[in-house]
Amino acid sequence: MIEKRLKTRSVNGTLALAQNIMELMLPAPRMVVLRGDLGAGKTTLVKGIAQSLGASADDVTSPTFTLVHEYQGTKLKVYHLDLYRLEKDEELLALGLEEMEADPNALVLVEWGEKFPSVMARARGQVVITLGEEPDERWFLVQML
Ligand SMILES: Nc1ncnc2c1ncn2[C@@H]1O[C@H](COP(=O)(O)OP(=O)(O)O)[C@@H](O)[C@H]1O
Ligand SMILES: [Mg+2]
């Protein structure tokens, strides 16, 4: 297992660190669960990852209501899921999670994936985000199997 603990002090710091975190997730395809409370920085991390893959960062917003967003980079694609509002495993299947996971050129990044044991069982790793001592400080614990 690869385990790394990284700290940022600002949103821009997180956007910049995202490339390092993304590289720890490779090679694709990989499904990774992003954990942390509301406002921890999960979506910000995805934005940085999408940007580092050559996708337009402007497209990256929280898929709270749409559940899935897709960002096409130059080589790899990101599927960005937010399962906060999802209740049942069947809904997960309906979203097409299995197809996303099987896409050889994709990283599947899942906010609130820990709600579903079936997601945790298939995830290849997780990033656990916690607050630091200062208001804009964030810790990123990256654990890849
Ligand atoms: N170092 C940091 N990294 C990421 N976000 C930060 C940081 N410091 C402050 N923030 C703020 O925290 C919030 C993170 O929001 P978001 O990425 O949507 O979190 P989540 O998806 O985990 O709910 C934003 O309001 C952002 O401005
Ligand atoms: Mg979010």
Superfamily covering domain 2-144: P-loop containing nucleotide triphosphate hydrolases (3.40.50.300)
Residue pointed to by tokens 């896409």? 103
Q: Which ligand gives the minimal distance to the CA of 8?
A: 1
**Rounded to whole angstroms, how far apart are CA atoms 96 and 53?**
23
- Ligand 1 midpoint to CA 8 (Å): 11
- Report the nearest-CA residue for atom 25 of ligand 1: 39
Would the CB of 143 count as within 6 Å of ligand 1?
Answer: no
Identify the nearest ligand to the CA of 41 by its number: 1
In Å, what is the CA distance from 102 to each residue of 13, 81, 97, 122?
Answer: 31, 15, 9, 12
- CA 102–ligand 2 middle distance (angstroms): 23
pLDDT in tens, the chain (145 residues): 999 999 999 999 999 999 999 999 999 999 999 999 999 999 999 999 999 999 987 888 887 777 999 999 999 999 999 999 999 989 988 999 999 999 999 999 999 999 999 999 999 999 999 999 999 999 999 999 9
Q: Where are the domains of the chain?
A: 2-144
